[in-house]
Structure formats: C-alpha cells, structure tokens
Amino acid sequence: MAKSITSRKYTGVYYYKLDNGDKSYAVRYTHKGKRYDKVIGRHSEGIREAYCFKVRTDLINEMKHGIDRSADMRLSELAEHFHKTKLNTETYNERLSRFEKEIKPFFRNRLVSEIRESDLIGFQEHLKKVRFGAKGRREANGEKSLANATINKYIDELKAIIKYGMKKKLVHFKDDPTENIQMLTESNNARERYLTKKEIDILREEVSFYDSNLQLFTALALGTGGRLNSVASIKKKDINIAGRRVLLIDDKKDDYYTAFLNDEIVKLLEGKLDKLRPNDSIYTGTKYGNKRAIQRKMKKILDKLFNVGLDVDDRQNRVVIHTLRHTFASHLAIKGTPIYTIQRLMNHRDIKHTMRYAKLAPDSGMVEVINLYD
C-alpha cells in the first residue's frame, strides 16, 4: 500500500501520491479514544490541504455536539478506501477502471448509506442498455451490448465495495442492499477449443522463428496452464529451478499458487536466470516488458496459424492465448489425470469449472460407445 504523507502545515491532514501523479487527500482525528480516517478527495477535483483542515475541524465540532458523520461516506470515498487494499495486487488497475468507467458516473457522489437494493437493480438495468462500437468504444448507437458476464463483473465490484465498507464499519445499513441481487445468466459461450498435439508442434515451430522470450511464454502457457497475466507476470524470484516449481499470480483471487516446470521450460530458462535480479521479469528486452507486447505478438501468430476464415466473434472455434490454458487441462484429462488434480493445477475455485474437461477423460465412456457393436 502507498505510504501516506503528512501535511507540514495542517494538523491531521495527509495525502497519498497516486500512480497517475494525482494526490488523494484525507484527514485523521480522534474522538473519545477512537481514531477516524476520512478520505476527502483528489487534487484534480480541486481539493487542497486548507479545505481538508476545515472539513476536519467541522467533523470534530460535530462529534463534540453528538453528531456522528463518520458513517456518512460517499461511494467514491469508500471505493478509494477499498481500492487501496488492492494497490499491490494484479487486479488493481482492472478494478479501478471498472469503477471509474461505469459505477462512479452512475452513482455520482451518492452517500453509501442511501443506496438501496432498487439502486443496484437500476444500475444492472442501466448496464444492459450500454452500447459500444466495433473498436470497443462506448457509443450511443453502438451495435454491441455488454455481455452478461461483463455486467456481472460490474455488479460484483460494486457489491465488494459495499461489503468492505460494512465489514470495516465504515458504513451502516439497516438491511444489506446487496443481499438479494440476482446475477445475470451467463451465455454458454465458454471456449472449448484446445490444440491437438500436431497443432502444438506447429505452434512451437512457428514461435521458434521469433525469439527466446516468445518461446518461453508459449512453453510456460502450455506447461503450466496459467492465464495470460499469470504467465506474463513471472519474475525470477517466483521460480525454483531445483524444485521445478513456479509461483503464478491468480488475478481472479488476488493470490498465488504453485505450478510445475517441465523439461522444455527448464531448458529455456537455463542461463537466463543467472543474469537477472530477483524482481526482474524473465522476459528480457524492451519488446517484452509488458503483457500487451506479448499479447499482440501471440495474437498475430495464433490468427495466422489457426484463425484464418473464422469470424472474430466465434468464441467456440477461434484460438486465443487462453486456448493454451484449455489445452493444458484438456490433455491432462485425456491422459487420465483425476479431475480434482486438474482442479488444483488450474487453481479453480469451484470444481464445476473443471468438470468441462471430464468428458475428455479415458473413462468418459466414449471408447465404449464407439466400440459398442464391434
């Protein structure tokens, strides 16, 4: 979490420096032995230290007269508290973007204590009407709408912010407004495509014409089943060559899990790690300094090899980077790996996410059906 900087001029006023260069101001005060921290706003919104000090003085005076404003928190203020707890996680930027993009404009500067179940339902209905164009930009007359899965992510984010406020006693409700919100049914458009052994060989040969970074990423994606961000974020300190293990970040859970290194990966890492510092990325060179660079290069390769003639919206058949994760799990199932082992290796929270691979197992009944009347 970012370190707070105390005002040199005004008692009880402090601020955080944000990644975008902005400052987030807050005040701290004590009443009857209890300490209170309250976010006031950002420098870009016109907030200054003198104003924060005035707000702090008013809050203290109100507390002395029995008026407790500590629970009257604005949604933007609570969200800032919540997002600070995610500052050093891989999902921080994604969460912040989700809030700034749709949640904040809809609820504006609303008091959290005033938000009701009907408001969450209204927000859900609002998201159903959002339209965007071919390049993903929000457009009034856009042809596409948000997928139910995307809408559910926005609702989950809003619920997480409110739940955090309740847990930390930053806001109080007579009835939890998030309790009965029904999530939308997500379309059955899960990617089922996985690469055959022949296709894997074709991909390996193709990336070999590029450089060791792309070869390493492909080997790790196929060998660990990690998601794009998990594999792209690996640093030297995450790797244990002797134990043949690597720690992968799970950006859906904000935690790490262990994956294993096969011979191909170990060979590609030989000599590379000795030149790196613990916090260095294993992908050397400026071209591979971030996830997007890898994503762009891999997309071109996968489109060239496997997606010619396929519609861009054909989720069932198009090969994308995430297909490599499905390939890992699918081939584990084909080799007869127990479904609970696959769940652990994929770091699935719920076994139902792993059950899609059960049909590929040798004991799925397919062989018996094919040979039934032979």
Q: What is the pLDDT of residues 161-208, one digit of tens each?
A: 999 998 888 887 778 899 889 888 876 556 678 999 999 999 999 999
Mean pLDDT of 341-367: 85
Q: What is the pLDDT of residue 171?
A: 83
* pLDDT higher than 80, residue 140: no
Q: What is the pLDDT of residue 34?
A: 82
Q: What is the pLDDT of residue 189?
A: 54
Q: What is the pLDDT of residue 301?
A: 95
**Cα–Cα dist 320/221, whole Å:** 12
Span of 78-82, 99-103, 235-239, 286-290 with lowest mean pLDDT: 286-290
pLDDT over 70 for what percent of the chain? 90
Task: Report CA Rg, the chain.
Answer: 25
Span of 74-78, 126-130, 249-253, 336-340 with lowest mean pLDDT: 249-253
Mean pLDDT of 328-351: 92
Mean pLDDT of 250-260: 81
Q: What is the pLDDT of residue 102?
A: 93
Q: What is the pLDDT of residue 68?
A: 64
- The pLDDT mean for the chain works out to 86
Contact 261, 245 (CB under 8 A): yes
Q: What is the pLDDT of residue 368?
A: 64
Span of 190-204, 277-291, 341-355 with lowest mean pLDDT: 277-291
Mean pLDDT of 101-112: 87
Q: What band does 288 get if pLDDT is binned at 50, 70 and 90?
A: very low
pLDDT, one tens digit per residue, over 4-54 is 899 999 999 999 888 888 888 889 998 888 888 888 878 887 889 998 998
Q: What is the pLDDT of residue 21?
A: 85
Greater model confidence, 46 or 120: 120
pLDDT over 90 for what percent of the chain? 43
Q: What is the pLDDT of residue 74?
A: 85
* pLDDT higher than 50, residue 367: yes
Q: What band does 209 get if pLDDT is binned at 50, 70 and 90?
A: confident
Mean pLDDT of 235-257: 88
Q: What is the pLDDT of residue 131?
A: 84
Which residue type does 79 have? A
Greater model confidence, 291 or 57: 57
Q: What is the pLDDT of residue 369?
A: 64
pTM of the full structure:
0.58
Mean pLDDT of 141-158: 87
